[in-house]
């Protein structure tokens, strides 16, 4: 028989959660977990028939709901006989203002929260709302199984990426362009490196770590500065004759496009970019910058002149083996509509103005 690696199990588990299927987390006991966002009413009742249901959310979401988180990075709430609409309202902040949650919530303490922790972390990496419903089960036939401890370990590990292919791409910014594709072994999103010219591997390269922004890069959104930053970075590399731009598919600072649009809807209710992420249950920035550092190292770049206004990116590169010899400011694309967004990033996330 083939035995599956933990990485393969995690990849399957992510798909299962997105399909609305429970995943079995094994340890001292077996706990089935399913993503609230993807769960249908029938499946919820099937799970309820197995035993008392528990809702697990992040401390960020718990704070908004005024529920206590006793397990550090996860909060567990008894579900009782509550219907799916109650779970959805707890998971999704869209209706927080229109129908404030009443509570009080029966928050659980003691016992083992490892399965709940794995479930919430998995939901995040599946780019779903970080809220899962859990129930102990005697059997888990037909379901993807994940040993809790090994899963937590693997989720924290640096993602391994393999180069897949590269090809020449003449661009407006430079005719000497080349696109490289990198594929993570855990079947999460592929990332791209755009190499301009033939940068010397022995000298610091002009580099930009760009995080995907569908709304800014493609649609010309006025809510952020991503599109102009992308084009200005490529233009600067073209003008200097060499550079490398990583296009990292970490949309919405790692929460995915659907969650970013949820954040935008909250921003229309008056919350800023950081508050919106927190209400959804995410940290302000969920990106894993080890991916960017890993690609640069893989391409032979050990030192960079980094185009950024974000000191956290500089720290992350330095921590993960890429020396930042210079920060090159990248200030373009200010609009009336993104002034508040940029001010919040400066105030709350430490961006340099």
Ligand X SMILES: Nc1nc2c(ncn2[C@@H]2O[C@H](COP(=O)(O)OP(=O)(O)OP(=O)(O)O)[C@@H](O)[C@H]2O)c(=O)[nH]1
State the binding site.
208-213, 224, 226, 229, 251-253, 273, 308, 313
Among the listed residues 213, 263, 293, 322, the single contact to Zn ion using CB under 5 A: 213
* Residue whose tokens read 């302000």: 284
CB atoms under 10 Å from CB of 153, counted, come to 11
Q: Which tokens hold the place of 220?
A: 């010309």
Among the listed residues 194, 209, 224, 296, the single contact to Zn ion using CB under 5 A: 224
**Position 107 contacts ligand X (CB under 6 A):** no
Alpha-carbon gap, residue 302 to 208, rounded angstroms:
14
**Position 226 contacts Zn ion (CB under 5 A):** yes
- Decide which of Zn ion, ligand X, none touches 313; Cβ closer than 5 to 8 Å per partner kind: ligand X
What does residue 238 show for φ and ψ, rounded to 5 degrees? Answer: -65, -45
Residue 178 is a catalytic residue: no
Known binding residues for Zn(2+): 213, 224, 226
Contact window for Zn ion (CB under 5 A) among 132-140, 224-232, 253-261, 285-293: 224-232
Q: Looking at beta carbons only, is 9 or 262 nearer to ligand X?
A: 262
Alpha-carbon gap, residue 330 to 306, rounded angstroms:
9
For residues 325-336, one letter each, b for 16 or more C-beta atoms within 10 angstroms of the residue's C-beta and e for the rest, the string is: eebbebeebeee
Which residues 6+ apart lie within 8 Å of 253 measured at CB? Answer: 211, 260, 277, 284, 285, 286, 287
Among the listed residues 47, 161, 224, 244, the single contact to ligand X using CB under 6 A: 224
Alpha-carbon gap, residue 9 to 6, rounded angstroms:
5
Task: Report, in Å, the least distance between residue 274 CB and ligand X.
Answer: 8
- Decide which of Zn ion, ligand X, none touches 252; Cβ closer than 5 to 8 Å per partner kind: ligand X
Contact window for ligand X (CB under 6 A) among 49-57, 151-159, 204-212, 317-325: 204-212
**Residues belonging to the active site:** 285, 287
Residues that bind Zn ion in the complex, under the rule CB under 5 A: 213, 216, 224, 226
């Amino acid at each position: 028989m083939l035995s599956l690696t933990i990485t393969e199990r995690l990849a399957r588990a992510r798909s299962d959660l997105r399909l609305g299927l429970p995943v079995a987390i094994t340890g001292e006991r077996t706990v089935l977990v399913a993503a609230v966002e993807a769960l249908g009413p029938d499946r919820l009742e099937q799970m309820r028939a197995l035993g008392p249901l528990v809702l697990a959310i992040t401390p960020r979401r718990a704070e908004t709901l005024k529920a206590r988180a006793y397990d550090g990075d996860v909060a567990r709430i008894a579900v009782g006989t509550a219907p799916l609409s109650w779970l959805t309202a707890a998971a999704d902040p869209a209706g927080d203002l229109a129908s404030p949650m009443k509570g009080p919530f029966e928050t659980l303490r003691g016992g083992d929260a490892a399965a709940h922790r794995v479930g919430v972390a998995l939901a995040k990496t599946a780019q779903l709302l970080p809220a899962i419903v859990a129930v102990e089960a005697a059997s888990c036939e037909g379901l993807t199984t994940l040993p809790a401890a090994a899963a937590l370990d693997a989720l924290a590990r640096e993602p391994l990426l393999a180069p897949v292919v590269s090809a020449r791409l003449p661009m407006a910014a430079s005719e000497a362009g080349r696109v490289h594709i990198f594929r993570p072994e855990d079947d999460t999103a592929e990332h791209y490196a755009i190499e301009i010219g033939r940068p010397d591997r022995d000298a610091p390269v002009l580099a930009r770590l760009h995080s995907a922004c569908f709304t800014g890069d493609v649609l010309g959104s006025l809510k952020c500065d991503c599109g102009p930053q992308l084009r200005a970075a490529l233009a600067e590399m073209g003008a200097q004759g060499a550079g490398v731009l990583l296009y990292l598919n970490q949309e919405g600072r790692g929460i995915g496009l659907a969650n970013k649009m949820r954040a935008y809807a909250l921003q229309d209710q008056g919350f800023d970019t950081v508050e919106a992420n927190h209400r959804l249950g995410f940290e302000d920035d969920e990106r894993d910058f080890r991916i960017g550092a890993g690609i640069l190292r893989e391409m032979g770049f050990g030192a960079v002149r980094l185009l950024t206004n974000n000191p956290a990116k500089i720290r992350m590169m330095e921590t993960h083996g890429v020396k930042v010899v210079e920060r090159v400011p990248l200030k373009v694309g200010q609009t009336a509509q993104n002034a508040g967004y940029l001010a919040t990033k400066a105030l709350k996330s430490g961006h340099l103005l």
